[in-house]
A and B are shown apart, each in its own frame.
Chain A
Amino acid sequence: MSLRFLLDDELITLEAVEPAMTVLEWLRLRARRTGTKEGCAEGDCGACTVLLGELAGGRVLWRAVNACILFLPMLAGRALLTIESLGGTHPVQAELAARHGSQCGFCTPGIVMSLYARSIGGLGAGQSVEDALAGNLCRCTGYGPILATARALATHPRDDTSTLAALRALAADPGPKEIRHGASRVFLPASADELAALCLAHPRARLVAGATDIGLWVTKHLRVLEDEVIFLGGLGDLRFIEETPEALRLGAMVRYAEALPAFTRLHPALGRLVRRIGGAQIRNAGTIGGNIANGSPIGDMPPALIALGATLTLRWGEARRTLALEDFFIAYGEQDRAPGEFIEAVTIPRPGPEDVISISKLSKRFDSDISSVCGAFNLRVEAGRIIRARIAFGGMAATPRRARALEAALTGAPFTEDTLTAAAPRLREDFAPLTDLRGSAVYRMEVAGNLLARLWAQSQNETADVRELADG
């Protein structure tokens, strides 16, 4: 009945585990490691960044994640590193201090951990320094010295020998797959088959993948998690990425950061979208399946995946069914998923050279923001004509949805600027967006139509994205 994980390669065994306690709370209150800070408790500021390690292909895969929305049971079988693990003299720390990279210092431990993850080749280490730091807010410095530190840092591979041995020992003797605490039961399945059986036995159990949304239910809404919670982090077999000439197939537990290269190969526009989802810590924790199952009207993946014609594989016991992604979203807060059923995989057909694809995420801030409008266009153009249109929007309705009237207006028409301009008003038949803090209904409607003009400009190779401009 205990939870077992590594902290600085030392085995920690916790006998009493409150399932909804966050790793941040445990670190600060129980382990008295106060270098990890709470800035927001919702995974947006990065002051609580820690590293999680897991076995992957004979080595340790390290990921920078937000401890504030990570539940304690999610540490099962993992290795945890905090700012204290670095000892104070690591080159990241020395360089950041020497280059005036801290002012008030409160965000600094989180920034150190993000840069440390990068320097040891953690998940997403190949991304730009701006992308690596998009989930670490600093209010004092203006970022210049931090970015300069990041650029100057060499890689400093970590000697993972003892971590590897300890993780292997832990994997060989993983401990219980169920933890009880009072009335609550936490399940830690290690395979999709185990999950399928668990879901049949406990069809009302809450499934938790990356917890990048469910974490907030606890830290912000002070909700109590269900008495039965199934944490999915152990499902290594749902972390597969299959690339074929026809399609990209992803296991539901693939994290954004893991899928990013494959998404980029599928289409660069998809890669550009995914690198703007949350900060690095969120992309290192959030899963493709979780983002879909969550059913949010403003999730960033669904519009693009719908436009690309993605299908879901849902599993219930041993039974599997395939569903077009757009049919999964029934209404706000309602999805086509039966009790005991779970998403096993997502399949995205590979676009052809004749497909014109444009994906736009619009938000107040470029990085780590929720879209006001997310529009995805997939037009098959043959001999100058649009022979098929798949267009989907997020932020325009209660669910991510296709723009059927606009699609109908475009299908069969010549692929010209006039066609696009003339068809844009058809969006009014598809959507009646709301006004909220992210944008007014008027803006959403206008900008959604303008995305057709952007698509045209892109097809003519005109720069239509300020982020692609060279510096002045």
Chain B
Amino acid sequence: MADQEMPAPGAVTRALPHDSARAHAAGTALYVDDVPLAANALHGAFGLSTHAHARILGMDLAAVRAAPGVAAVFTAADIPGRNDVSPFAGDDRLFAEGETIYHGQALFLVVAESHRAARAAARLARMEYQPLPPLLTTAEALAAGSVLEPTQLMGRGDTAAALAAAPRRVCGELEIGGQDHFYLEGQIALATPQEEGGMHVLSSTQHPSEVQHIIARVLGRADAEVTVEVRRMGGGFGGKETQAAWFAAAAALAAAKTGRQVKIRLDRDDDMIMTGKRHEFTAVYDAGFDEAGVLHAVSLELASRCGCTADLSHAINDRAMFHADNCYFYPAVSIVSHRARTHTVSATAFRGFGGPQGMLAAERMIDHVAHELGLDPLEVRRRNFYAPGRDMTPYAMRVTDNIAPELVAELARSSDYEGRRAAVAEWNRARRVIKKGIALTPVKFGISFTTTHLNQGGALVHVYTDGSILLNHGGTEMGQGLMIKVAQVVADVFAVPVETVRVCATRTDKVPNTSATAASSGTDINGMAAYNAAEAIRQRLVAFASRQFSVPEEAVRFTPAGVWAGAERVDFTELCRLAYFNRVSLSANGFYATPEIHYDRKTHTGRPFFYFAYGAAVSEVAIDTLTGEHKVLAVDILHDAGRSLNPAIDLGQVEGGFVQGMGWLTTEELVFDAAGRLLTHAPSTYKIPTASDRPARMEIRLWAAGRNPSPTIHRSKAVGEPPLMLANSVFCALTAAVAAAVPGAGFPRLDAPATPERILAAIAELKARHG
């Protein structure tokens, strides 16, 4: 296994820059839109539905076809295979048929000589609709019985009786907004027809295998006839897990029909209108506890707006349930989850995948308990942490790797939480207009796809006769540094400099049947698969060197100074050359399947996760009680990346995840109008954090003692998603500041995102309660 401590000069654990860092800064890193086109290439644009729910009575595309530069127009009728671009449920149409089910749904594709010509033509369709009443909100859909699947239930014990018997009780509700991914590079695909019906597609996707399969399905072709390739994405965050397939399939359809290369690059507004976002949630909690703040029973009711199709909503809502405990033991628990089907864009994967919403509900409930008892919320958090004998999750998985208590204790100490909490209280006593709040919240995030079969990875490693190494694996690069981390792993297998390992585009014709780069699993599964591939080659080299130099295999050692065969030293390059001449294969594929995990979705019990990743953050905020404006003043983070493969990359994930989570909970507001139209569909109206929103003081550290007790690659831990939820501390601190604005009025009702308007409204509501 690759879990032993590595010798000092290895690549693993070094803070190496991203493999493309210099190319990024030089502007030479190629994205799909930068690839030179064939002289006769066409550009596509979609015609979009202007109704959230309507019957399509007529679609007159004559003006579209006649527009300048237009080469062809395609509708559902032109699809040779199936009009289905869904990941599994069969309900996502490439083009609407018969009715539209959300505002912005694709109706047709026009391809033209230029991007602008295609966009202009797409707006010329004459549509005839019979509007139907749309279900736009979660509440409307649930009232009408419009759901994706029956309400799901997870739990243990007689919660109702335990709640009734508890000495104290609080109830509350929290609304949590969605979030647009706002990857800087919008959705894009470039399809190039090949001979004999083959199709090559460059796609900005986190899931090339699924894109391949969907293109084959739409074209009525075999998977083997379609090759999908992605070198890098300009950001993904979950937004290119399922969503990229539509655009790749549409480009492939048009390319197959016209025999010409076709590029589809979405304009930013179209991208934000057409593609899915993080799920909006409503959480209702009912907590029973004692005077010490120890929970006796918890009843949580979650409801989410899944939009018009299933997409990945089943698993996303499951993950919300899995994280509604966070780090806390609920002796008796009932978690109910409603999945509303609405006439809005289908909600999809987004960093955290439902976990953030479930976890935020837990933190809100704990804050409420603490407020009720007049205790420091951190103390209440600690008293409810999982502990020996109190270690069973609501889904019947035992928490055996719990480091939350130690990690939180260290952060509380290093951040001077106590002292600063006192200073905040003092400030709030003395000041009228500006109020402050501080909060420390922990994160425990389950690592593995909860759909068990997805936990597999593949890799292909070639060693050439000059000793250079080409690395392929099923994972995709979206900026998270997957390629450099896996390259470090492979370099260490041969004890060569990491520069020896060349990373390249992920391609379905090199590593097949891969899982999405998602669920924070990229390094865990692909790193281990690549390790296995490299190790297979190394074993062959060891056997060969043993024969060649007449030493036992145990005497063959790979070191930075070369390969030792007993007392004899040979350069790695020389060994590779010799091996080739002696007809030893220097290419291997590797495979990895995460062990030990299983899950029964019918009962919502099992061991869905291989392990948990932990972290904690302290945020200190200030609010303006006159305007609702706020600022995050300081943040301290301690995060567990296990034995970090690359601390620089991992710290980047922690900071980036935190700031993205902060945006979700503060400035990023998706506004839909009464007709179901998204009004915030561009950066002019949808506000992700900018440079000055970064807290001026951020202390971010990886937990030095971190080691994964589970045998992951070098005992590292996944780091893509968990840090996003560190931003829950911002929301809890804002809630505390609002409470301080009207002391004695009760626990505030603050919803997310906490825009200035919502903060002012929460203060007003407290004042009204106060009388």
Residues of A near any B CB (own CB < 8 A): 25, 28, 32, 34-42, 44-45, 47, 82-84, 86-88, 92-94, 96-98, 100-109, 112, 129-131, 133-134, 136-147, 220, 222, 279, 360, 362-370, 372, 436-440, 443, 446-447, 450-451, 453-454, 457, 462-467, 469-472
List 12 extra interface pairs beyond A104-B185, A367-B692, CB under 8 A: A37-B184, A39-B185, A39-B268, A103-B481, A104-B183, A106-B184, A108-B25, A137-B182, A143-B689, A437-B679, A457-B626, A472-B634
A447 touches B21 (CB 8 A): no
A467 to B757 CA separation, bound complex (whole angstroms): 17
Set of chain A residues within 8 Å of B655, measured between Cβ atoms: 141-142, 144-145
The residues of A that contact B29 with a CB separation of less than 8 Å are 105
Contacts of B629 in A (CB 8 A): 362, 366, 465-467
A-B contact pairs, 21 of them (CB 8 A): A35-B28, A83-B27, A92-B25, A98-B17, A103-B18, A103-B481, A104-B478, A107-B234, A109-B24, A138-B691, A141-B659, A142-B658, A143-B659, A222-B116, A364-B756, A365-B690, A437-B669, A451-B627, A462-B431, A462-B432, A469-B633
| Minimum CB–CB distance for B157 against chain A, Å | 41
Residue from the list A112, A222, A464 in contact with B434, Cβ < 8 A:
A464
Which residues in window 97-149 of B have CB below 8 A to A?
116, 119-120, 123
Cross-interface CB contact of B24 among A108, A139, A454, A463, cutoff 8 Å? A108
> Does B21 contact A139, Cβ atoms closer than 8 Å?
no
Best-surrounded residue of A32, A139, A440 (most CB of chain B within 10 A) = A139
Whether A222 and B123, one on each chain, are in contact in the complex, defined by CB atoms closer than 8 angstroms, is: yes
Complex contact A447–B627 (CB within 8 A) = yes
Partner of A84, one of B27, B433, B700: B27
Q: Knowing A44-B683, A362-B627, A471-B696 touch, does A106 contact B622 (C-beta < 8 A)?
A: no
| Known pairs A437-B680, A439-B757; A140 contacts B669 (CB<8 A) | no
Residue B479 interfacial (CB < 8 Å) = yes
Query: Which one, B30-38, B78-86, B377-385, B593-601, is touching chain A?
Result: B30-38
7 tightest A-B contacts by CB?
A35-B27, A104-B479, A106-B234, A105-B24, A472-B634, A142-B659, A83-B27
The answer to whether residues A443 and B757 also contact, given A88-B28, A466-B434 and a CB cut-off of 8 A, is: yes
With contacts A100-B18, A112-B27 taken as known, whether A144 is within 8 angstroms of B626 at the C-beta atoms is no
Q: Give the chain A neighbours of B547 by CB distance below 8 A.
A: none
Contact status A129-B633, CB under 8 Å = no
The reply to whether B26 and A83 contact each other, CB–CB distance below 8 Å, is yes
CB pair A147–B694 under 8 Å, yes or no, is: yes
> Are the C-beta atoms of B694 and A143 separated by less than 8 Å?
yes
Contacts of B120 in A (CB 8 A): 222
Partner of A145, one of B185, B652, B679: B652
Number of B interface residues at 8 Å Cβ cutoff, please give it.
97
Flag whether B94 is at the interface (Cβ < 8 A).
no
B203-251 with Cβ < 8 A to chain A: 232-237
Q: Which residues of B contact A457 (CB under 8 A)?
A: 432-433, 626
Contact between chains at B185 and A366 (CB < 8 Å) = no
Residue among B17, B23, B24, B667 with the highest chain A CB neighbour number at 10 A: B24
Question: Cβ of B652 and Cβ of A469 under 8 Å apart?
Answer: no
Which B residue sits closest to A128, measured CB to CB? B692
Whether, in the assembled complex, B267 has its beta carbon less than 8 Å from a beta carbon of chain A, the answer is yes
User: In this complex, what residue of B is CB-closest to A107?
Assistant: B184
Given contacts A36-B27, A142-B655, contact A447 B626 (CB under 8 A): yes
| Contacting pair B626 A34 (CB below 8 A) | no
Contacts A37-B234, A142-B659, A472-B420 known; A100 to B17 CB distance under 8 Å? yes
In the bound complex, do residue B232 and residue A104 qualify as a contact, i.e. CB atoms below 8 Å apart? yes
Interface flag for B577 (CB, 8 Å): no
Say yes or no: B690 contacts A97, CB within 8 Å.
Answer: no
With the chains together, A96 CA to B25 CA distance in Å?
7
Known pairs A112-B25, A142-B660; A446 contacts B764 (CB<8 A): yes
Interface residues of B in 665-724 (CB under 8 A from A): 667, 669, 671, 679-680, 682-685, 687-698, 700
Q: How many angstroms between the C-alpha atoms of A62 and B43 in the bound complex?
A: 35
A375's closest neighbor in chain B, by CB?
B627
A97 and chain B: residue at smallest CB distance: B21
**Given the complex of chains A and B, what is the CA–CA distance between A363 and B756 in angstroms?**
8
Interchain CB contact under 8 A, B21 and A102: yes
Q: Are B20 and A105 in contact (CB under 8 A)?
A: yes
Q: Which residues of A contact B693 (CB under 8 A)?
A: 365-367
- B72 at interface, CB cutoff 8 A: no
Q: Nearest A residue to B764 by beta-carbon distance?
A: A446
In the complex, chain B residues whose CB is within 8 Å of the CB of A372: 756-757
Known: A36-B27, A41-B267, A103-B18. A139 touches B235 (CB 8 A): yes
Would you call B479 and A103 a contact (CB within 8 A)? yes
Question: Which residue of chain A lies nearest to B268 when distances are taken between CB atoms in the complex?
Answer: A40
Indicate if the CB atoms of B622 and A42 lie closer than 8 Å: no
How far apart sit A47 and B186, CA to CA, in the bound complex (Å)?
12
Contact, CB under 8 Å: B22 / A93: yes
Taking a contact as CB atoms closer than 8 A, the residue among A103, A105, A364 that contacts B656 in the complex is A103
State the Cβ distance, A306 to closest chain B Cβ, in Å. Answer: 21
Query: Is there a chain A Cβ closer than 8 Å to B65's Cβ?
Result: no
Which residue of the partner chain B has the closest CB to A147? B691
Question: With A44-B684, A96-B25, A362-B756 in contact, is A34–B33 under 8 Å at CB?
Answer: yes
Distance in angstroms from B238 CB to nearest chain A CB is: 12
B480 at the A interface (CB under 8 A): yes
Binary contact readout B348-371 vs A (1 if CB under 8 angstroms, 0 otherwise) = 000000000000000000000000
Q: Decide: B34 and A472 in contact? CB cutoff 8 A.
A: no
Please name all residues of chain B whose beta carbon is closer than 8 Å to the beta carbon of A141 when the two chains form the complex: 652, 655-656, 659
A358 CB → nearest B CB, Å: 12
Complex: how many Å from CA A220 to CA B267?
9
A97 and B25 contact, Cβ closer than 8 Å, known pairs A139-B184, A443-B760, A466-B434:
yes
Asked, given contacts A362-B629, A440-B757, A462-B432, whether A133 binds B691 with beta carbons under 8 Å apart, the answer is: yes
Q: Which A-chain residue is minimally distant from B669 (CB atoms)?
A: A364
B387 at the interface (CB under 8 A from A): no
Q: In the complex, A365→B671 CA distance in Å? A: 15
Tell me the smallest distance from the CB of B585 to a CB of chain A, in Å.
Answer: 35
| A contact residues around B26 at 8 Å (CB) | 35, 83, 86-88, 93
Verify if B546 is at the interface (C-beta below 8 Å from A).
no
B624 at the interface (CB under 8 A from A): yes
Pick from B18, B694, B697: contact of A102, CB below 8 A: B18
Partner of A41, one of B268, B623, B628, B695: B268
Interface residue? B269 (CB, 8 A): yes
Q: Could you say which residues of chain A place their CB within 8 Å of the CB of B433? A: 453-454, 457, 462-464
CA distance A65 to B287 in the complex (A): 54
Which residue among B30, B479, B649, B655 has the maximum number of chain A CB atoms within 10 Å of its CB?
B479
Q: Tell yes or no: B257 within 8 A of A by CB.
A: no
Chain B hits for A42, CB < 8 A: 268, 682-684
Nearest to B649 among chain A residues (CB) is A100
A41, A82, A220, A471: most-surrounded residue (chain B CB, <10 A): A471
- Chain A nearest CB: distance from B77 CB in Å? 27
Residues of B within 8 A of A443 (CB): 628, 756-757, 760-761
B684 contacts A446, C-beta separation under 8 Å: no
Q: Is the CB of B690 within 8 A of A133?
A: yes
The answer to whether A105 and B232 have CB atoms under 8 Å apart is yes
A97–B688 touching, CB < 8 Å? no
Q: Once the chains bind, are B620 and A45 in contact (CB under 8 Å)?
A: no
Distance, CA A248 to CA B34, complexed state (A)? 47
Whether B22 contacts A364 by the Cβ 8 Å rule is: no
Task: Contacts A42-B683, A102-B25, A222-B116 given; indicate if A469 touches B622 (C-beta within 8 A).
Answer: yes
Q: Cα distance A439–B760 when bound, in Å?
A: 12
Is B34 in contact with A466, judged by CB distance below 8 angstroms? no
Chain A: which residue is nearest B22 at the CB level? Answer: A97
* Given A97-B22, A105-B234, residue A137 in contact with residue B27 (CB < 8 A): no
Write the chain A residue with the least CB distance to B30: A34
> Which B residues lie within 8 Å of A451 (CB)?
626-627
Q: State whether B17 touches A454 (Cβ < 8 A).
A: no
Q: How far is the CB of A465 from chain B (nearest CB, A)?
A: 7
A93-B26, A222-B116 known; A131 vs B695 contact (CB < 8 Å): no
